[in-house]
Structure 1
């Protein structure tokens, strides 16, 4: 890893752990709650404890005045829920676009096991080459998704995160396998930091329990979108997750510290 990549990676985390709030869902879902006034949401989650926020390049001018010195990641592919295939993520920008937008890092989504995996393999490899030439870290969102693929199977997730490392990613996001014991296999499948997606657990306690489990398994944090930015109190939820990721808090301690209901 070159000096620039290492320095910028530090801007999107704290002491090797990461709390990223992705808000690129405007492409996938449209202007859903939490994203219409994205300025207020970004201000709340970064004040609450998010290390970095993530958007598509076109939102950059709405991000920078409101991110409170947090890091910024530009996402480089996407798809929509109303299109023919949500797993068919297409390129939406380049590393150079992200640099012009003031990004500290870039991210790229790949669905391992999908019909689109071959093209996405090529695209991720090209992104990592371009990014490292410029000293920009790459967050690979590597999911196990496709016909007959169990998206929470630890062996499939382990394959996905290892693939991301093999193609040059510096940080890897994937789904949580459901418990700390099985997630250890996923974390041990790569030498790169592994962070979990938010998933769809119901209730603050369940969400935080997944975060605690991932950290207990040796994970390095989370990249959590709707569970934070659509929360009734995004800042408090970011604070609760941060308490676990950065301070080693238990679920109960995180809830108590932020005043959230269990």
Structure 2
């Protein structure tokens, strides 16, 4: 690992643990709750303990003044919910463009098992090569998605995270299998740090229980979007998630840290 790569990984994590808040959903879903005034949301989640935030390159000028020293990741492919195929992610930026936007890392979404898997593998491989020349970490968002694919099956998720390592990613995000025991099968499939996606927004306790289960199953953290940035208290829920990831808190202690249950 080069010094530059190591330094940039440190900027998006704390002691090799990751609390990343992706907010690239504006290109996918439009200016939904939490993204209209994205400046305030970024300020809140980073005050709450987020190690890094993630957006598309065009939002960079709105990120830097509000991230309170946290890391910044530029996402480099996308699709929309109103387009013909949401799984068909198309490239939106290069590694060099991400550097010009002030990124500490880049991220790329691949749907393993989808009809678009072949070209997405090629694009991810090209990105990891370009990023390596710049000492720029790559977060692969490797999901098990496609016809006949169970997106929570630990074997399928394990295949997805291993693919990310094989193609040269530095950190990998994937779906959650549902409990810590089965998630161990996922994390043992790769030597990369594995972070889980947040999925659909649940209750505060459900969010905390999911994060606790993933960490118990060997996860290195989360890359959690809507469950944090669309929360009525983004800073509070970030504190809850941070307490589990960075302080190894149990669920009740973490909820107390976020102000959601009385001490």
- Above 0.5 in TM-score? yes
Report the Cα distance in structure 1 between the residues aligned to 2:173 and 2:255, rounded to whole angstroms: 24
Contact 2:238 2:258 in 1 (8 A): no
Residue by residue over 1:51-84, the C-alpha shift from the partner in whole angstroms, topping out at 9 and shown as x without a partner, is 0000000000000000000000000000000000
Contact 2:45 2:235 in 1 (8 A): yes
Report the Cα distance in structure 1 between the residues aligned to 2:232 and 2:258, rounded to whole angstroms: 13
The residue number in structure 2 matching 1:158 is 158
The residue number in structure 1 matching 2:251 is 251
Distance 1:112 1:202, change over 3 A: same
The residue number in structure 2 matching 1:198 is 198
- 1:46-85 to 2 correspondences below 5 Å: 46-85=46-85
Contact 1:212 1:244 in 2 (8 A): yes
- 1:220-235 to 2 correspondences below 5 Å: 220-235=220-235
- 1:213-224 to 2 correspondences below 5 Å: 213-224=213-224
The residue number in structure 2 matching 1:177 is 177
Report the Cα distance in structure 1 between the residues aligned to 2:41 and 2:206, rounded to whole angstroms: 22
Residue by residue over 1:84-125, the C-alpha shift from the partner in whole angstroms, topping out at 9 and shown as x without a partner, is 000000000000000000000000000000000000000000
Report the Cα distance in structure 2 between the residues aligned to 1:201 and 1:185, rounded to whole angstroms: 25
Moved more, 125-134 or 195-204: 195-204
Report the Cα distance in structure 1 between the residues aligned to 2:103 and 2:260, rounded to whole angstroms: 32
Report the Cα distance in structure 2 between the residues aligned to 1:66 and 1:258, rounded to whole angstroms: 21
Report the Cα distance in structure 1 between the residues aligned to 2:210 and 2:116, rounded to whole angstroms: 29
4+ residue segments displaced more than 3 Å: none
Moved more, 123-132 or 200-209: 200-209
The residue number in structure 2 matching 1:109 is 109
Instruction: Determine if the alignment matches structure 1 residue 9 to structure 2 residue 9.
Output: yes
Could you tell me which runs of 5 or more consecutive residues in structure 2 were left unpaired when the two chains were aligned. none
The residue number in structure 1 matching 2:207 is 207
The residue number in structure 2 matching 1:32 is 32
Shift of 1:202: 2.1
Query: Aligned with 1:164: secondary structure?
Result: helix
Could you tell me which runs of 5 or more consecutive residues in structure 1 were left unpaired when the two chains were aligned. none
Contact 2:201 2:226 in 1 (8 A): no
Report the Cα distance in structure 1 between the residues aligned to 2:65 and 2:236, rounded to whole angstroms: 21
TM-score with structure 1 length normalisation? Answer: 0.99
TM-score with structure 2 length normalisation? Answer: 0.98
Shift of 1:261: 5.0
Contact 1:204 1:261 in 2 (8 A): no
